Copies of this chain bind each other. A is one copy, B any other.
Amino acid sequence: MTIKIVESHFEPWQEVQIYQNAQAALTDKAGAAAVFVGTMRDFNAGHTVSGMRLEYYPGMTEKQLEKVISQANTQWQMLDCLLIHRVGDILPHEAIVLVAVWSFHRGDALDACRYLIDSLKTQAPFWKKERIGDSACWVAGNTKGYYAIE
């Protein structure tokens, strides 16, 4: 189980590939991998966003992410997971978050992946400040995650 808080751009699919290749045990056992990638959009809640700054609470963020992973571990069988979160200045189209879960079977991988991203969004101390035109606004809260109800 690996948590990475990174301050510069990362390529999510490459990270998954490299991580998986490095874990020989994964290749042998994992029948299922579920991955979620969240990317910065240049458009949010009706306005054009030119950039974003992501603040976090060093120490607490990692602690809460570890807790979320422990919680997932009690509910689903996870062979491994990789969690990467960007902080600092982010440009549109760059990856913000990656959650990857490897399991024997698909149900565990899919459920745990969803639990991790949903829990991360409510538990882990990260804060987004969007640059809109000449001003910068703190994002008020996370959405439900569905197009139809935004």
Contacts and interface: CB of A to CB of B under 8 A. Distances in A.
Contacts of A144: 107
Given A145-B107, A146-B107, A41 B31 contact: yes
Contacts of A30: 39, 41
Contacts of A106: 36, 38, 117, 145
Contact of A104 (B20, B104, B147): B147
A109 interface: yes
Given A34-B35, A34-B36, 11 more contacts: A11-B17, A12-B33, A13-B14, A13-B17, A27-B39, A28-B42, A28-B93, A30-B41, A36-B109, A105-B143, A105-B146
Interface of A: 11-14, 16-17, 20, 27-43, 76-77, 93, 103-110, 113-114, 117, 143-148, 150
